[in-house]
Chains A and B, each alone.
Chain A
């Protein structure tokens, strides 16, 4: 049994290392497969902006920045792997000469704060209500919650966010229109308050749009599970209905949701794109939006790599947690 567990873990780790390596390699190759090179794009941009021709020394400097295009692909790949290992993602073009790593480091806490907490909150609320609704399908609670969730899930997120921004930000003026904090308060006593104030609307809109999906998923699993014999046996044992509901029904119905939750956590960085754009929230999503619109290749590459690795990490955690909560999957690992 113990040996089986160990082997299972080793196999999973090996799988994820291989996947991470291919993700890094793709991240290296794709920009290089695109026609043209960043140097000429930037030179053209600078020419357009200034209306003058760019001196050859400047062109050479920019080329140096991106690495020598005449160097062999293998040499470039090797250099790239080395810099990734050192967490060195190069310098941003749009905010030259800030290192990409620094920008990512500045954006990451904001995204984790916003999307991390809201994903957790939406999962907890949706799953909790889903358990209650699925316990008595067709009951009063179910009759109210299920249509409501279907309705909420059908609303496009950006629309909800824009309406919220318009009503609560512009018309009522309850919450700030954008940003993650009040720059005037940076490092001062009121800073934490201002962070919370800026968090409310983006967080509320995410929870509002996301919890319905969790609710429906959990409710449907609950309905299937409630008709299982082991739930009937729990009742026959004379256990309290709360115990039967959680330990027998919900405990089993939760299993598929755990996978979904891990995927959602993995998607935290990428999933925040829309929210962060609408609310100009200073996270990774906004950074990516900025990078794409300004053709900041190193920054884009950095964000992509970070997103990919987060998804992998979350999947790994999900796999491991699943093995812990569902004893049956341990067999498969042997």
Chain B
């Protein structure tokens, strides 16, 4: 295990009061594992990973919980409780990040080489140029492109350069926030294949956030589904895709065309994502749920073991009582 998240809360704090965007989220990330996090816009998935790496911008702030990092060397640290200064040494060495749009994430006025060099030097690398060339070759970019500025590269090349940059200091965890959303489908497949290959070679763990569940099935070992700031289902990727335990997961699965199987009928999820300022009293998905019943509006279901995976849904209470 490399990362142990316990009861993490992230609030957006305003004069009108706090809005909880990430609510009591707990999960563990294993070494070398790719964990996918999926959900609609506003479900808290991006806020969650920004919280994990302590890059939240005000007014967002961690208001509770623990994020234990178990690094290769040294004692475990609770990222949620370290000061910014203490975190600096861990950043990029232990946890690196790939952001959604490489165009926005690369400094527009600096050459690629400079953007590799500053982080390598910061973390004590000496052979900066060779290392940069090596990293670029790893993602299939010719090392002489190191002299390019971000605007001189294509979108796909920029995104691959971002991945190379993330791997600069041989991190243990790479957090990826929709890294393939801004590129075309062909490039998307190439990048996914590259991530899998590099993970095989270098052994880092990945937390991969996307709204595209069918993409995650191809990539992730396990998948966490988020709704209204909480994890509502967590399980093996194939299992989640084949037999989703939560009606929301099922809805999400059926709203994207599968990457490999022939396209059948797509059905969206009716209604809109919940208003975090005013969540339903019971299950947050209840107003949109096709399988809801009385219980759902009254009591919020806990995230419990349902055999192969975790799910927060009252449908499984019935099964449990039936079995007992």
Contacts and interface: CB of A to CB of B under 8 A. Distances in A.
A26 interface: no
Given A247-B110, A252-B109, A331 B151 contact: yes
A86 B106 CA distance: 52
Nearest to A233: B105
Interface stretch (A47-55, A116-124, A235-243): A235-243
A326 B109 CA distance: 6
Interface in B81-121: 84, 87-93, 96-97, 99-101, 104-110, 118-119
Interface residues of B, number: 30
B13 to A, nearest CB: 13
Contacts of A237: 91-92, 118-119, 122
Interface stretch (A161-169, A224-232, A300-308): A224-232
B104 A328 contact: no
Interface of A is mostly: helix
B6 interface: no
A236 B122 CA distance: 12
B104 A229 contact: yes
B123 interface: yes
A248 interface: yes
B118 A252 contact: no
Nearest to B119: A237
B318 interface: no
A233 B168 CA distance: 13
Interface residues of A, number: 25
A41 interface: no
Interface string A244-255: 000110011001
Most chain B C-beta atoms within 10 Å of own C-beta, residue among A236, A243, A328: A236
A224 to B, nearest CB: 13
B118 A247 contact: yes
Contacts of A241: 84
A36 interface: no
B106 A230 contact: yes
B255 to A, nearest CB: 28
Contact of B108 (A235, A236, A238, A328): A328
B149 A328 contact: yes
A234 interface: yes
A235 to B, nearest CB: 6
Interface in B188-211: none
B55 A236 contact: yes
B97 A236 contact: yes
Contact of B122 (A229, A239, A248, A327): A239
B126 interface: no
Interface string B51-91: 00101010000000000000000000000000010011111
B88 A240 contact: yes
A227 B108 contact: no
B55 A251 contact: no
Given A238-B88, A327-B151, A229 B99 contact: yes
Interface string A209-228: 00000000000000000011
Contacts of A239: 88, 118-119, 122
A325 interface: yes
A327 B112 CA distance: 12
Interface string B22-65: 00000000000000000000000000000001010100000000
A115 B221 CA distance: 67
Contacts of B123: 238
Given A238-B91, A239-B118, A328-B149, A229 B101 contact: yes
A328 B88 contact: no
B104 A238 contact: no
A327 B57 contact: no
B46 to A, nearest CB: 12
Contact of B99 (A233, A238, A331): A233
A331 to B, nearest CB: 7
A230 B106 CA distance: 5
A247 B122 CA distance: 14
Interface of B: 53, 55, 57, 84, 87-93, 96-97, 99-101, 104-110, 118-119, 122-123, 149, 151-152
Given A236-B92, A238-B89, 6 more contacts: A228-B104, A229-B104, A229-B105, A235-B55, A238-B122, A327-B152
Interface of A: 227-230, 232-241, 243, 247-248, 251-252, 255, 325-328, 331
Q: Which 5 pairs between the two chains have the least Cβ-Cβ distance?
A: A238-B91, A229-B104, A237-B119, A229-B105, A327-B149
27 contacts: A228-B104, A229-B99, A229-B100, A229-B104, A232-B55, A232-B57, A233-B107, A235-B91, A236-B53, A236-B55, A236-B97, A237-B91, A237-B92, A239-B88, A239-B122, A240-B122, A247-B107, A247-B110, A251-B110, A252-B108, A325-B109, A326-B109, A327-B108, A327-B109, A327-B152, A328-B109, A328-B151
